[in-house]
Amino acid sequence: MSRMYETIYIVQPDLGDEEIKALSTKVQDVIASMNGDFKRVEDWGTRKLAYPINKNPRGRYFYLRFDGDSGLIAELERRLRLDDKVIRYQSVKLETEVVAPAAAPVKSAEEGTEEVAAEAATEAPAETTTTVEG
């Protein structure tokens, strides 16, 4: 059964363009060879890491969104783990449908005015004034 996945992987920031292109092609070939279907591939560029990883304060981020089987994720993560250029990776299974929250029912203008007036009358206490003479 094909499911939607997201994978973010971080590579060493000092890699050249040719090395990055070769690594990116290798990752995409793994997904394509296991009948994965790409939805989005993005290079987020070099960013500061939250904490140094392998003495690297920065890393170059890549984002992938694709359809595939669970076996595809296992193979992709195995290959990322074995590559010394990759310093971190994470894959997440996405929900199949995004459900929007239900909208509140819309009241007509006449109903809303009557209800607001009734609520104001019951909620607001009557004002009382007292005078103290002394």
Task: Give residue 116's pLDDT.
Answer: 56
With a cut of 50, list the residues of the chain below it in pLDDT. 98
Task: Give residue 104's pLDDT.
Answer: 59
pTM of the model: 0.67
Q: What angle (nearest 5°) sits at the alpha carbon of residue 102, between those of residues 98 and 104?
A: 160
Residue range 63-97, pLDDT digits in tens? 999 998 888 999 999 999 999 999 999 999 998 65
Domain boundaries, the chain: 3-94
Q: Which CATH superfamily is domain 3-94 in?
A: Ribosomal protein S6/Translation elongation factor EF1B (3.30.70.60)
Give φ, ψ of 118 to 5 degrees.
Answer: -65, -40
Residues 35, 86: contact at Cβ < 8 Å?
Answer: no
